């Protein structure tokens, strides 16, 4: 597998595009969690860890794909609207941009933190312009674990966005 910047392969970007076109929910016990405002959220229980994997599909009206992708990667804007952000910033480590994100949890739970790389690309997939953002945890010594904070070591995210043919965006996220 040919890995590019951030450790992401061309195949991973193409898989995100393909799932946007044809959501893959078969072969597993995906459960529809909620359906609202044109968005469907599914979850799948990982029996080994007790954690859930989520997939989100839908159309956001009056929001262009480029704007939606810009908002998604804008860390400063996220700090403005997300009340659960304790720390969120990007730092260069070994020539790569690495994101540190600490999320506040209420007592008696502990805060969680994430250290990850991400990459954004615009692709032409079957004649459609698709914005793809991939992210995954990465271990770097510049971000040691903090006492009292639980490090999420298996974080991964895929997001694909294209025009809905009108003024909105069709999106898929996992």
CATH number of the domain bearing residue 80: 3.30.530.20
pLDDT-derived band at 28 (thresholds 50, 70, 90) equals confident
**Burial 159-168, CB ≥16 within 10 A → b, else e:** bbbbbbeeeb
4 pLDDT exceeds 80? no
Q: How many CA atoms lie within 13 A of 3 on its CB side?
A: 5
- β partners of residue 132: 121, 160
Q: What is the pLDDT of residues 32-73, one digit of tens each?
A: 999 998 899 999 998 888 888 999 999 988 889 999 999 999
Q: What is the pLDDT of residues 107-159, one digit of tens each?
A: 999 999 999 999 999 999 888 899 999 999 999 999 999 999 999 998 999 99
**Which residue do the tokens 């698709």 mark?**
130
Q: How many structural domains does the chain have?
A: 1
Domain around 115: 5-173
- β partners of residue 34: 41
State the chain's maximal CA–CA distance in angstroms.
50
Q: Which residues contact 40 (CB under 8 A, 6 or more apart)?
A: 32, 34, 56, 57, 58
- Going from the C-alpha of 43 to that of each of 35, 59, 79, 104, 145, the distances in angstroms are 12, 18, 26, 23, 28
1 pLDDT exceeds 70? no
């Amino acid at each position: 597998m040919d890995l590019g910047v951030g450790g992401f392969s061309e195949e991973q970007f193409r898989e995100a595009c393909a799932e946007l076109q044809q959501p893959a929910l078969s072969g597993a016990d995906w459960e529809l969690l909620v359906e609202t405002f044109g968005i469907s959220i599914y979850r799948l229980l990982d029996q080994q860890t007790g954690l859930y994997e989520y997939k989100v599909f839908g159309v956001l009206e009056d929001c262009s794909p480029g704007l939606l992708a810009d908002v998604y990667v804008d860390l400063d804007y996220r700090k403005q609207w997300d009340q659960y952000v304790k720390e969120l910033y990007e730092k260069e480590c070994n020539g790569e941009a690495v994101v540190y994100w600490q999320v506040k949890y209420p007592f008696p739970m502990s805060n969680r933190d994430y250290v990850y790389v991400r990459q954004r690309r615009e692709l032409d997939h079957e004649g459609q312009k698709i914005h793809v953002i991939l992210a995954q945890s990465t271990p770097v010594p510049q971000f040691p674990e903090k006492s009292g904070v639980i490090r999420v070591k298996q974080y991964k995210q895929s997001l694909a966005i294209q025009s809905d043919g009108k003024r909105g965006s069709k999106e898929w996220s996992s």
